[in-house]
Amino acid sequence: MNKKWTIDKIKEFVENNSESKLLTTEYHGFSQKLLLKCACGSNFEKTFTKFKNKNQRKCEVCQPPKESR
């Protein structure tokens, strides 16, 4: 059974699993990009799926994208 994520649960997950802060105030589904603030102060957008499952928890300055294969 899939876990139903709410904006409050996502905010808690972000705070407990990264140094980033969630700026988005509404959640409409897994494909929505969330606005986050990195520990360095930069804002960045990621879907919750990428943030949660792919460890993309920082801005592109602090965590540059991996080179494609």
> Domain range holding 18?
1-69
The pTM (predicted TM-score) of the whole model is 0.85
pLDDT band at residue 1, thresholds of 50, 70 and 90? very low
Total domains in the fold of the chain: 1
Half-sphere exposure of 29 toward its Cβ, with a 13 Å CA cutoff? 1
**Other beta carbons less than 10 A from residue 40's beta carbon:** 12
pLDDT band at residue 66, thresholds of 50, 70 and 90? confident
8-46: pLDDT as tens digits: 999 999 999 999 999 999 999 889 999 999 999 999 999
Can you give the pLDDT at residue 2? 57
* pLDDT at residue 68 greater than cutoff 80: no
